Amino acid sequence: MLMCSSTVLYAQDDLLNELSKQDSAQTVPVTATFKSTRVVNGQSVETMKKKHLDLRISHRFGKLNSGAYQFFGLDQATMRLGFEYGLTDDLMIGVGRSTSQKVYDFFGKYKLLKQSTGARNIPVSVTLFGGTGVATVDKERDFQDKLYYTAQVLVARKFGERLSLQLSPTYLYRTMPDVTGDEKVLFAVGIGGRFKLSKRVSLNGEYFYTAREKNTVTAPYHDSMSFGVDIETGGHVFQLHFTNSLGMIEKQFIGETTGSWGKGDIHYGFNISRTFSFDKKNKKQPN
Amino acid sequence: MKPHFYRVACLAMFSTALLSGTAFAQMFATSGGNTQFSASTPLENIEAENKKSQVILNTANNEIAIRMNMREFSFPNKLMQEHFNENYIESVKYPTATFSGKVDKAPDYTKDGNYDVSATGKFTVHGVTRERTIKGKMKIEGGKITISSDFEVALVDHNIEVPKVVFVKIAQIIKVKAQYALAPYKK
């Protein structure tokens, strides 16, 4: 009698329900808010996973309005070569070298809070970014005066599969600004986002508002604005973009953007990111 | 689910538990089953492992259900894992893979031994359900049941698209290996 009743009870679908019931109390992390650790120029909330190396090669060409003689900017290229590595799934470090101002940059990035649904509902991801660098171009300067520091709190939310938005309050400190009269301390707020056009292609944009006078003699600067496309192909992510900034590190694109979109000072550029996994432990061969 | 179901289910489970001292347990389950797959090609190793597959087997009527969260598949290369979830399997839209069916030629669960078995039922991956018969082995030993199976899944059967231009080629037929050690099921 008992056997009969339970046989009726556990019809096939009920067995599946039984399994999903056991599983219901889980927290589901929201992943891939952005395809890459950069939105365009600026950092995204993403970090490299543990034991994964990101080799980044970034190029910015000259200004589109420089005319046919300069092949619309393509004759001039600046680049940054970066090695960026995940120490844990939440903590990454990176070093880079930029041709522009001959800068060595160093940074760390830590995922403080991860957006999630399910048992634990967290509406946003929060990542902390800290960076420093040495601009070695001016040999006359003391070492101290070549330094700069950046701190950012990156707050992002993935609104469904397609849309992600990010807010990036930024603090920038230059021991010796390049233009006399420019402030050492600069506050800025970045707003960025991506919209997925297809599974592998997304449209990205970002804008950094700087709290200072713009386009003056003491500060001949503009706010940085960039638009781009992310294309992922297996282990690579290609980011192609148009930006009024030449630099690829925070000090330069937030603090020292001299180009103006209105005048056509637009640089074409791209980032190539190639991920390598050094996680041997996990590499078990099913046989 | 109806509360009615729970009440009767609880009663049934309770009675089963009471009986298990004397009679053979009826429900066997695990939530730590191992499912691996390989989509490797000569050029690239694409392998992943899910260590949290759930399985439940009712030995009274031979019904079996298997369920796993796609996002629990762990890849050595985390970028591949992200692409697997985002682009191939779309784990937000289709979070689980399931099988629910019946063991075809059921062995005598009370006798220790190794048996060749097969199960027929609904196999759902990427939101597409197919009727399949999957072969495997069942080992019964000391009141535990271990199920193992090697089978293949064709991407095209489950509408899993592979873009034409990718650097990492993946196999069109995925080889799956499953190993589930079931113990008497307690609530």
Residue B69: what pLDDT?
Answer: 95
Q: Tell me the shortest Cα–Cα distance from B165 to chain A, in angstroms.
A: 7
Residue A8: what pLDDT?
Answer: 43
Average confidence (pLDDT) over A118-128: 93
Instruction: List phi, psi (to 5°) of B171.
Output: -70, 150
Contact B47 A284 (CB under 8 A): yes
Q: By three-state DSSP, how is residue A188 classified?
A: strand
Contact A22 B54 (CB under 8 A): yes
Average confidence (pLDDT) over A135-144: 91
Q: Tell me the shortest Cα–Cα distance from B112 to chain A, in angstroms.
A: 22
Top pLDDT among B18 and A250 is at A250
Residue of A nearest to B34 (CA): A286
Confidence of residue B176 (pLDDT cuts 50, 70, 90): very high
Residues of A in contact with B58 (CB under 8 A): 6-7, 10, 15
Asked if A5 is an interface residue toward chain B (Cβ–Cβ < 8 A), one would say yes
Confidence of residue A9 (pLDDT cuts 50, 70, 90): very low
Residue B2 in this model has a pLDDT that exceeds 80:
no
Q: Nearest Cβ partner of B47 from A7, A275, A286?
A: A286
Q: Nearest Cβ partner of A49 from B78, B83, B92?
A: B78
Please state, rounded to an integer, the average pLDDT across all residues of chain A: 89
Residue of A nearest to B120 (CA): A12
Angle at A45 between CA A51 and CA A62, to 5 degrees: 95
Residues of A in contact with B55 (CB under 8 A): 19
Q: Are A104 and A96 in contact (CB under 8 A)?
A: yes
Residues of B in contact with A20 (CB under 8 A): 67, 96
**Cα dist from A198 to A92, A182, B159, whole Å:** 28, 43, 16
Residue partners of A100: CB distance under 8 A and separation at least 6: A78, A80, A246, A247, A248, A252
Residue A4 in this model has a pLDDT that exceeds 90:
no
Residue A10 in this model has a pLDDT that exceeds 60:
no
Residue partners of B13: CB distance under 8 A and separation at least 6: B27, B186, B187
DSSP B21-63: TTSPP-EEEEEEEEEEEE---SS---EEEEEEEEEEEETTTTE
Q: Does the complex come out with an ipTM higher than 0.85?
A: no
Best mutation target among A3, A19, A198 (most B Cβ atoms within 10 Å) is: A19
Residue A26: what pLDDT?
Answer: 80
Cα separation of A275 and A198, whole Å? Answer: 21
Q: Nearest Cβ partner of B65 from A2, A15, A286?
A: A15
Residue A2 in this model has a pLDDT that exceeds 50:
no
**Cα dist from A181 to A105, A140, B51, B149, whole Å:** 24, 19, 61, 73
Percent of chain B with pLDDT over 90: 63
Residue B68: what pLDDT?
Answer: 96
Top pLDDT among B157 and B11 is at B157
Reading the block at residue A79, the tokens are 């680049």
Q: Nearest Cβ partner of A9 from B12, B77, B168?
A: B12
Cα separation of A224 and A256, whole Å? Answer: 9
Residue partners of A182: CB distance under 8 A and separation at least 6: A174, A218, A219
Least Cα distance to A176 among A147, A153, A196, A200 occurs for: A147
Contact B98 A233 (CB under 8 A): no
Q: How many helices (H) and strands (E) does chain B have?
A: 2, 8
Please state, rounded to an integer, the average pLDDT across all residues of chain B: 86
Type of residue at A41: N
Least Cα distance to A82 among A64, A68, A95 occurs for: A95
Percent of chain A with pLDDT over 90: 67
Contacts across the A-B interface (CB distance below 8 Å): 128
Q: Tell me the shortest Cα–Cα distance from B9 to chain A, in angstroms.
A: 7
Q: Tell me the shortest Cα–Cα distance from B118 to chain A, in angstroms.
A: 16
Top pLDDT among B20 and A116 is at A116
Residue B1 in this model has a pLDDT that exceeds 60:
no
The HSE-up count of residue B94 (CA atoms within 13 Å, CB side) is 18
Q: Tell me the shortest Cα–Cα distance from A277 to chain B, in angstroms.
A: 5
Q: What is the pLDDT of residues B77-104, one digit of tens each?
A: 888 898 899 889 999 899 999 999 999 9
**DSSP one-letter code for A7:** H
Average confidence (pLDDT) over A104-121: 94
Asked if A15 is an interface residue toward chain B (Cβ–Cβ < 8 A), one would say yes
Q: How many residues does chain A have?
A: 287
Reading the block at residue A26, the tokens are 């889980």
Q: What is the pLDDT of residues A204-254, one digit of tens each?
A: 999 999 998 888 877 789 999 999 999 987 668 899 999 999 999 999 999
